[in-house]
Amino acid sequence: MPASAVLGLRPHTYWTAAAVVAGSADAPDVVWRERLAFAGPGEKFPFHRAAEAELSAAPAVIEASRRACVANLARGIEGLLSRMRARDVEVRLAATAASTAKLPPALADILASHSRIHTAEGDFARDAVAAGCAAAGLAVRRVVERELPALTADRLGVGPLELAARLKAMGATLGPPWSEDYKLAVQAAWLELPELALA
């Protein structure tokens, strides 16, 4: 019987760290890590490009990038799922960052502010990653990234120092890459491992 696993992701503006975690909350097993790109040169930074276009064309610029990024990531995840099945691992759930930006509803107001454009790019990436997971057929859970360490520690019944020690030991066993991106991707998946037991 294949091992059940969660795919954890930590999005950036045009790529995401991805980690597949199986096992239990008490004994997680990181079975795979990789970086998945989801935006080509013409698809990156859609809000920046929209700000340089006529306002009437801006929504179409953003939507074209959104469709391309979601499709690109879905293909990447489908390939990842296939590689996992070849290892007798069945990914049943994805966990990624929630969108948290407080932006004005009018696109014109977003595009008028460089800081808002940057904020919108971050939420665009987080939403594209979640949508790409769904398009690849995975149920998706989203969590506010800054709350992730506290939520994971609480789920495990440990304090933040103990969680940090477990992550350090995990990295020592796994070896590189073990950047903050992968630690957060693993924690996102780790948090959802108990869901597999309930499904």
- Domains of the chain plus CATH, in order, are 3-198 (3.30.420.10)
pLDDT above 70 (res 197): no
pLDDT digits (tens, 9 = 90+) for 2-39: 899 999 999 998 999 999 999 998 899 999 999 999 99
Cα separation, 178 vs 139, whole angstroms: 26
Contact 77, 65 (CB under 8 A): no
Q: How far is CA 121 from CA 54, 64, 142, in A?
A: 18, 14, 18
The whole model's pTM is what?
A: 0.94
Q: How far is CA 74 from CA 50, 80, 102, 103, in A?
A: 24, 10, 27, 27
Percent residues over pLDDT 90 in the chain: 86
pLDDT at site 100: 86
Using alpha carbons, select from 25, 27, 24, 21 the residue that is nearest to residue 153: 25
pLDDT at site 118: 95
pLDDT above 90 (res 46): yes
Helix H, strand E, coil C: the string for the chain is CCEEEEEEEEECCCEEEEEEEEECCCCEEEEEEEEEECCCCCCCCHHHHHHHCCHHHHHHHHHHHHHHHHHHHHHHHHHHHHHHHHCCEEEEEEEEECCCCCCCCCHHHHHCCHHHHHHHHHHHHHHHHHHHHHHCCCEEEEECHHHHHHHHHHHHCCCHHHHHHHHHHHHHHHCCCCCHHHHHHHHHHHHHHHHHHHC
pLDDT digits (tens, 9 = 90+) for 107-144: 999 999 999 999 999 999 999 999 999 999 999 999 99
Q: pLDDT averaged over the chain?
A: 94
Question: What is the mean predicted confidence (pLDDT) over 97-110?
Answer: 93
Question: What is the mean predicted confidence (pLDDT) over 51-56?
Answer: 95
Q: How far is CA 132 from CA 2, 43, 76, in A?
A: 24, 15, 9
Amino acid at 141: R
Confidence at 1, pLDDT banded by 50, 70, 90: confident
Contact 30, 186 (CB under 8 A): yes
In the chain, what is the straight-line distance between the N-terminal and C-terminal CA atoms, in Å?
A: 15
pLDDT above 90 (res 182): yes
